[in-house]
Amino acid sequence: MHNTEDNWPVGAMDGLKVVDLSRVLGGPYCTQILADHGAEVIKVEPPQGDETRDMGPPFHEKDSSYFIGINRNKRSIGLDLSNIEGRSTLLRLLEGADVLLENFKTGTMEKWGIGYEDTISKLFPNLIYCRISGFGSDGPLGGLPGYDGVIQAMAGWMSVNGGGDKDPTRLGLAAVDMGTGLYTCTAILMALFERHGSGKGQFIDMTLFDCAVALMHPHIPNFYYSEGKIPEMYGNQHANVAPYDKFSTKTVEVFIAALNNPAFRRLCSELGQPDLANDPRFRTNPDRVANINELSDKLSSLMLDIDGEDLCQRLMLNGVAAGPVYNTAQVVEHPHTSHRDMSVKLDWYQGSGIPIKFSRTPGSIRSTPPRFSEHGRDILAQHGFNEDEIDALAENHVLVEERKKL
């Protein structure tokens, strides 16, 4: 499917065909990135649909904002893969596909007779087959279920995230799922690059646990190189650099990241206390980290009567990273968000823009998130099914056109 047919710019992934069996967040987040850049993504949903369609309120025409936020530029078909005819239909959809992505419970595809080793790799030797699971298929936790919050707990994230009450706290973003989606997108692109030389597909084994452990930076390196000292919570502070913290001002809360000695000196000058940079407790970053509480108290006292927005503007103009603490509405309405095309609208759809900015092959938002099985008949026709075959699949509930209620 070439985007030029619809007068859209040709994206970097134009011509790539992805059959996406994944649900919830990690997989759909990955495939939306590919779809934004021109890939044809066929979203194959189970009879009950992607469960995120129900994760609300809020909703738009019975689909949750959660679902809407990660499924644009895709087409949807409902298929019952527990039915042998449904699996045969899937195999026909895989003809000409470059990527298959799924996040079923490990062993499900094998149980259905369409596992990678025994079936898919033999039928489609150049296909990139990617599985996302909680922990993988083997090992002490192999085959067990995993969701973002659970993995945050088990991969140590909650142990280093929390405020002054030292209560382990889940991050307010599903960063494990989205981080896994980003890693998965990178893995798929690597496999496609390798295929250019070898002509062969391969199996990609992605887990939420692995990705969450990989993202535990700098806490795992700190643990290894501090003779086993267990990282603790630092609130808004940082374990390795200072000042890197949130402060209250007369007008707004601000976050300041003066990560090196020149930046710290400029911060002290803007606060009217240039000599503070020469205080033996704060002269170097190791000094500041060792005396982080004294530093925080001193900076806090200096900012109480300062206009925070003005301070951030002066600091940024002097090369020091600083910014006000915004809420979601302020982010969406900020003029820089608009300038960077990070707030977008298409018909009824509104959402975040495309963060990857190419000079020649920009991404584009070509279609709104699909209703359940909205494109089922068109997808089947595209893959050689005639009208009688499609009607028969619908009558036998292989093609599912209305969501099954659980």
**Active site (annotated) includes residue 177:** yes
Q: Is there a contact between 367 and 36 (Cβ–Cβ < 8 Å)?
A: no
d(CA 237, CA 11): 40
β strands within 104-262, DSSP E: 128-133, 202-207, 244-248, 253-257
SS3 162: coil
d(CA 267, CA 196): 51
For 55, phi then psi, to 5°, come to -85, 75
CB within 8 A of 220, min separation 6: which ones? Answer: 156, 213
d(CA 289, CA 234): 11
d(CA 94, CA 87): 11
For the chain, give the number of residues: 406
Out of 177, 245, 287, 391, the active site residue is 177
CB within 8 A of 246, min separation 6: which ones? Answer: 236, 253, 254, 255, 325
CB within 8 A of 361, min separation 6: which ones? Answer: 9, 10, 11, 12, 14, 37, 38
Q: Which residue has the tokens 């596992």?
A: 115
β strands within 266-369, DSSP E: 321-324, 343-346, 349-352
Would you name the residues annotated as active-site residues? 177
